Structure 1
Amino acid sequence: MMGPVLAACLLIILSTAWISQANEALCKKDGGVCSCNNNKNSVDCSNKKLTAMPINIPADTKKLVLNYNKLRELEPTAFHNLNKLTLLSLGNNQLQTLPEGVFDQLVNLAELRLYRNQLTSLPPGVFDSLTKLTYLTLSQNQLTSLPSGIFDKLTKLTDLRLSSNKLQSLPKGVFDKLTELRTLEMRNNQLRSVPKGAFDSLSSLSLVTLDDNPWDCSCNDILYLSKWIREKQGNVSNIEAAECAVGNKAVLDITEKDAASDCVSPNTTTAIPTSTTTPASVIYDDIHEIKVPQENFQKFLGYQEPDHLPTQPQCLMSISGYLGLMMSLMLTSAAILYVFHFLKKA
């Protein structure tokens, strides 16, 4: 009876080796597509011209960086086996939409970076499972609106960046649950006003950017924002930078006499188009994401880039890794047949 037992043990050992070989192939310096640091459970797949998510990312990965690729879409289950992730960065890709449920398994995620993509809209509830999220950037996309309640579950969020989109209006109560928020960036959008009470729940706010929006100071909708800025002046940084679209007057200086008109809600009007040129202030937006050299970010994660890039960057393993996997598969198959042979004899 020892034959089948030994064969079963051999099968387990070979299967484990096969899985280990597959994970190693993802990060091998002589041909694997990504750089890994096992000590810090971090994987960097940046600058690899990826058009699809790499496979075999270890399930215990905590930091996954996919910046500067060519990802246009994500599968709904792209991250469903990566529930240990605390940081996910997808900056500088070509994502046009996010599938519903794509982040549902990332219950430990603290930082999500989606800057510099081509997102035009967000699915309702796409962030609802990210209850531990503290940092979210959607800057430099093409968002024209936000779904109602999109941030309601993100009660631990401290940093939210929405700059350099095409937001024409904000849904009522969109920030009501963000009582821990300290930084809110909304510069360079197409906002003409904000709903009354929009910022009343932001008791922890210390920095807000509202400049480079076409604030309509002729309508009385602007009076809430003007009063709020005056009250927070001196306590919230950069708050004075918001200026009216006409006349270059500061929003905080607007009075009821200035804003006497009862205008149509900005939700039903066409926003004033912004300049086709990028304002100098955009340079500040997500500066630590865009301006910090890649090697510095890699140093933060605790690993270094491979000595050279693979000839085919989207191959997930080298030739040697492939041959090793094939050998492991053949041995595993032989072990299975061996087990069946002894069981049949028994």
Structure 2
Amino acid sequence: MMGPVLAACLLIILSTAWISQANGATCKKDGGVCTCNGQTKNVDCSSKGLTATPSNIPTDTDRLDLQSNKLSSLPRTAFHGLNKLTYLDLNYNKLQTLPPGVFDHLVTLETLGLSNNQLKSLPEGVFDKLTKLTRLELGSNQLRSVPEGAFESLSSLNNIMLTNNPWDCTCNDILYMAKWLKKKQDEGLGGVDTAGCEEGGKAVLEITEEEAAEDCVYPNTTTAIPTTIITTLASSNDDDIPELPVPQENFQKFLGYQEPDHLPTQPQCLMSISGYLGLMMFFVLISAAILYVIHFLKKA
């Protein structure tokens, strides 16, 4: 009965080898773009011109550096499986939004860098699972306020960076943040004074309810055509309809056009192709081993 045993051993060896190759596919030694240090568990993907997060990051990674790339968005599952990560650097990218739950699996994370991006808002509960976080960097974005309760779960936080954001201190949405910063200042949290109002130069933590009494109404970023114009155009003859110039930028956005720097880079395409080829080879070898076992059992 050595035949089936040998075949089973072959399956285990092939599976282990394929999984190891897949986990290390982002590293230079495997043809990837990132530098991986197996001893320190560091993965350095900084300054690579990446427009998407690398796939197959080793699951035992402790520090992941993605700063100074061209990331404009993150998949919700971008960091799933990285439950040993303590350091994540996303500074100096082009992030405009964060999907809900993107950090939920990073339960051991201690440092999160999101400065120098283009974030205009934060989703509800985005930091709720980061109870071990000690440093949060949100400076140099486009944030005007944060959602109610955004920082409540950050029980281990000892430093926060909020500078160079257009914090709207006339709007009542800022009151949660103002009260939280004041409380944390009394508790000795560092960096609470880095949040300054867009107008007046006053610190956010000094804002009172009387000063932030206005309802929050932010202009829509899309350009709408007034209803009266639509009605007039609908009732007019085609010959009478004036030609309305459409800005090229808006037209491209309407069509879903993307600039070339949002397209996958050549190394990323190669990584994807190699991953699929590796998966296909894996299944071919498994099928061959299974057929070998069946053939041996029939003979026996």
Q: TM-score, normalised by structure 1?
A: 0.62
1:214 lines up with 2:209 in the alignment: no
User: Partner letter of residue 172 of structure 1?
Assistant: L
Q: Tell me by how many angstroms 1:62 deviates.
A: 0.9
Contact 2:143 2:167 in 1 (8 A): yes
Which of 173, 178, 182 matches 1:199? 182
Q: Which residue of 2 aligns with 1:88?
A: 88
Distance 1:61 1:77 in 2: 16
Tell me how far 1:332 sits from its aligned partner: 3.5
The aligned residue for residue 245 of structure 2 is: none
Which ranges of structure 1 fall in alignment gaps of 5 or more residues?
A: 175-193, 227-261, 272-310
Alignment partner, residue 156 of structure 2: 156
Which position in structure 1 is the counterpart of 2:293? 339
Deviation at 1:211, TM superposition (A): 6.0
Coordinate RMSD, CA, aligned: 3.4
Structure 1 equivalent of residue 206 of structure 2: 225
Alpha-carbon distance in 1 for matches of 2:69, 2:276? 24
Identity across aligned pairs (percent)? 57
- The one-letter code sitting in structure 2 at the alignment partner of 1:199 is K
Q: What is aligned with 1:172?
A: 175
Instruction: Answer yes or no: is 1:18 the counterpart of 2:18.
Output: yes
Distance 1:151 1:109 in 2: 15
Check conservation: 1:49, 1:313, Cα contact below 8 A.
no
Q: Is the 8 A contact 1:96 1:118 kept in 2?
A: yes
Q: Provide the secondary structure at the position in 2 that maps to 1:313.
A: helix
Task: Output one character per residue of 1:112-149: Cα deviation in whole Å (capped at 9) or x when no partner.
Answer: 00111111110111100000000100111111111011
Q: For residue 132 of structure 1, give the secondary structure of its aligned residue in structure 2.
A: coil
- Name the structure 2 match of 1:314: 268
**Higher RCO (CA 8 Å, separation ≥ 6 residues):** 1
Alignment size in residue pairs = 248
Separation in 1, partners of 2:16, 2:190:
51
CA contact (8 A) 1:112 1:136 kept: yes
Counterpart for residue 64 of structure 1: 64
5 Å-filtered alignment, 1:1-346, equals: 1-29=1-29, 31-169=31-169, 171-174=174-177, 194=178, 199-202=182-185, 203-205=187-189, 208-209=193-194, 213-215=198-200, 225=206, 265-268=212-215, 312-315=266-269, 317=271, 330-343=284-297
Relative to its length, the structure with more helix (as a share) is 2
CA deviation after TM superposition for structure 1 residue 49, in Å = 1.9
Partner Cα separation in structure 1 for residue 40 and residue 79 of structure 2: 19
Question: CA distance change for structure 1 residues 205 and 52 in 2, over 3 Å: closer, same or farther?
Answer: closer
Partner residue of 2:252? none
User: Alpha carbons of 1:343 and 1:67: their partners in 2 closer, same or farther (altered >3 Å)?
Assistant: farther
Q: Tell me, in whole angstroms, the C-alpha distance in 2 between the residues paired with 1:134 and 1:100.
A: 21
Could you say what secondary structure the match of 2:160 adopts? strand
Instruction: Give the TM-score normalised by the residue count of structure 2.
Output: 0.71
| SS of residue matched to 1:36 | strand
Amino acid of the residue matched to residue 15 of structure 1? Answer: S
Give the Å deviation of 1:209: 3.5
CA distance in 1, matches of 2:102, 2:143: 18
1:158 & 1:124 partners in 2: Cα distance?
Answer: 22
Equivalent residue number for residue 190 of structure 1: none
**In 2: Cα distance, 1:50 partner to 1:27 partner:** 14
